[in-house]
Amino acid sequence: MYKCKHHFNNLRADLQAAVLEFVGTAFFLLLGLGGIQASTGARLMSNNQASDVEQVLYISTCMGISLLVSAWLFFRVTGGLFNPNVSLALLLVGVMKPLRFFLFCIAQIVGAITASALIRVLTSMPLSVGTFLQSGTSVTKGIFIEMFITCALVLSVLMLAAEKHQATAFAPVRTLFVGTLRSLMFDDRLGLALPSSPAICNFAVYYTGASMNCARSFGPAVVGGFESDHWVYWVGPLLGSLLGAALYATMKHVQYWKLNPGQDATDPREAAQEIEEAQY
């Protein structure tokens, strides 16, 4: 009985955080999926068709920059998760309580549906932002691709945001660059160095759509219709969450900070002390 009451001690704060997580998820996916919708519309209406590579780069960039902006805005508010699979990993490693996990999952799924519905209403074409397996990509391959890229995303979040260190405040940017941004692309017309497509998405966009997020796949499916392989986008990311959490737990178990000590120190003497302590 005491444990049950203990879970509801912060109910008000959990509800408030869930509402704001809904807003953040809707904001993130409205920007990201809106870019994909525009890309698809432009490709259908233009006689000058973009190549598959250009399409993948554009889609990856839309989702990557949208995540960067949204996560940095909401990082100090709700954690800027926007993803039930990331929430699950945080639950498994003990960072998130069960009640908040449940409320966040609902918020993230409803946020994805809301963003998809807004895109459908605001644009003049059928919703075309859903995820599906490309021809030649089997269900098994799709599951493993989604599992590995979700694992990479989850591990980035756990090591850069959940694991507190000197640069935790920059976790939204570092998570994006370490986990997703591949390089810089120079635009000759603008003379600017622009963040190029996310590496994780570059690998998987063409084959599975690079969901890494069951809510991101579920929202467009509710509004635009379900594909027969939709379940892949629940199983793959779920396995990725489990794998990422297991890798993180393993590194914590072996006390990874002792394997390469002094990396978070700002003073050489502090670093030397940490190195000396690790040797004993």
Distance CA(149)–CA(241), nearest Å, equals 10
At residue 23, the pLDDT reads 97
Q: What angle do CA 76, 102, 87 make, to 5 degrees?
A: 50
Question: 168: which 2 tokens?
Answer: 């935790």
At residue 185, the pLDDT reads 35
Distance CA(245)–CA(214), nearest Å, equals 17
Q: Please give the sequence-ordered ranges of beta strands (E in DSSP) within the chain, or none if there are none.
A: 184-187, 192-195
- Residue-wise over 252-273: b if at least 16 C-beta within 10 A, else e? eeeeebeeebbeeeeeeeeeee
The pairing of beta strand 184-187 with beta strand 192-195 = antiparallel
At residue 179, the pLDDT reads 38
Amino acid identity at 41? G
Going residue by residue through the chain (280 aa), what tens digit of pLDDT does each one get? Answer: 555 566 677 899 999 999 999 999 999 999 999 999 988 776 666 665 656 777 777 887 888 888 888 988 898 899 889 999 999 999 999 999 999 999 999 999 999 999 999 999 999 888 989 999 998 999 999 999 999 999 988 988 898 877 876 666 666 665 555 334 433 333 333 333 333 334 555 678 889 988 999 999 999 999 999 999 999 999 999 999 999 999 999 999 998 888 877 677 666 666 566 666 666 6
DSSP letters along 192-246, please? EEEE--BHHHHHHHHHH-----HHHHHHHHHHH---TTTTHHHHHHHHHHHHHHH
